[in-house]
Structure formats: structure tokens, C-alpha cells
């Protein structure tokens, strides 16, 4: 099985943030379910060829967000995330979209290109989106 996290050393986004973003996407996409063990700090650092402290920083941020749980001596696990109020979910989505638009613009994409990419991604994910309760 291939390692699910990739980094781009030429990206302006810090490595720890790339790791966080990808783990969020993997958790949200169902790659890891609540209670599943994530790769260890050591394994992630070795496979990505980064400093273990970089991985620790990413995992710590994800733990602060409640997305992962660290179990001393046992590793890092996907947390069961309680359903946040709709306003909080919308605000989190808005922040994520702002970050993605900012990163896209930093890579030289025009507003029209960003909108085209957004539409393509939304269409691809449409079947996976469900109406909030």
C-alpha cells in the first residue's frame, strides 16, 4: 500500500501545514475512520523525509482541533468528531475555502481558473456531499 501523505518541498505552504491539510482530507474522505490508527510520527517522518518535530507539530494542531487523539505509548488515532453547530461548520468551511483560494492565487491562478477548479471539485464530490441535518 502506498503512503497516503505526500509533500511538495517547492510549495510555499509549510510542510507541517501540508501534512495537516492532507490528514484532514483523508479523515474527511473516509480513508481513516474514528478509532483507526494513523501512521506514527516516526513512520511519517521517515517516509516523508522530514524532521519528526514537523510531524509532531501537525499532529498537535490536529489534536487541538479534536480530529485526532494521542494515546501515550499507543500512537495517534482518528477521533470521533462530534457534530458542530451549523454556524460553526459553515465558518470552518469558509476559512478552508479562503485558505484554498489564497493558495491558488499564490500559485498564479486567476479568479476564473480558481472558480473553474472549485466547480470541478464540487462536481466530483457532489455524490459524497449530504444535506446537513
pLDDT tens track for 10-28: 888 999 999 999 998 888 8
pLDDT of residue 1: 64
Query: Which triple of cell numbers denotes residue 70?
Result: 494521542
Q: Give the three cell numbers for residue 12.
A: 510555499
Q: Is 129 a residue whose pLDDT tops 70? A: no
CATH no. of 15-78: 1.10.10.10
Of all helices (H) and strands (E), which one includes residue 58? helix 52-64
- For the entire predicted model, the pTM comes to 0.64
Cα–Cα distances (Å) from 26 to 85, 103, 113, in that order, read: 22, 19, 25
The structural domains of the chain, with segments of one domain joined by +, span: 15-78, 86-125
Which are the contacts of 48, defined by CB distance < 8 A and separation ≥ 6?
A: 3, 5, 6, 7, 15, 19, 55
pLDDT tens digits, 59-97: 999 998 888 999 988 999 999 865 556 676 677 788 888
Region of poorest pLDDT, from 44-48, 59-63, 70-74, 128-132: 128-132
**Cα distance between residue 34 and residue 130, in whole Å:** 19
Amino acid at each position: 500500500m502506498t503512503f497516503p501523505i505526500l509533500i511538495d518541498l517547492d510549495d510555499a505552504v509549510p510542510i507541517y501545514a501540508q501534512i495537516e491539510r492532507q490528514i484532514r482530507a483523508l479523515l474527511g474522505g473516509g480513508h481513516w475512520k474514528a478509532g483507526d490508527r494513523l501512521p506514527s510520527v516516526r513512520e511519517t517522518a521517515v517516509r516523508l523525509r522530514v524532521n519528526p518535530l514537523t510531524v509532531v507539530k501537525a499532529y498537535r494542531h490536529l489534536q487541538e482541533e479534536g480530529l485526532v487523539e494521542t494515546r501515550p505509548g499507543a500512537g495517534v488515532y482518528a477521533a470521533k468528531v462530534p457534530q458542530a453547530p451549523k454556524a460553526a461548520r459553515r465558518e470552518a468551511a469558509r476559512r478552508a475555502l479562503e485558505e484554498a483560494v489564497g493558495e491558488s492565487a499564490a500559485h498564479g491562478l486567476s479568479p476564473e481558473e480558481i472558480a473553474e477548479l472549485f466547480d470541478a471539485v464540487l462536481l466530483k464530490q457532489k455524490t459524497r456531499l449530504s444535506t446537513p441535518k
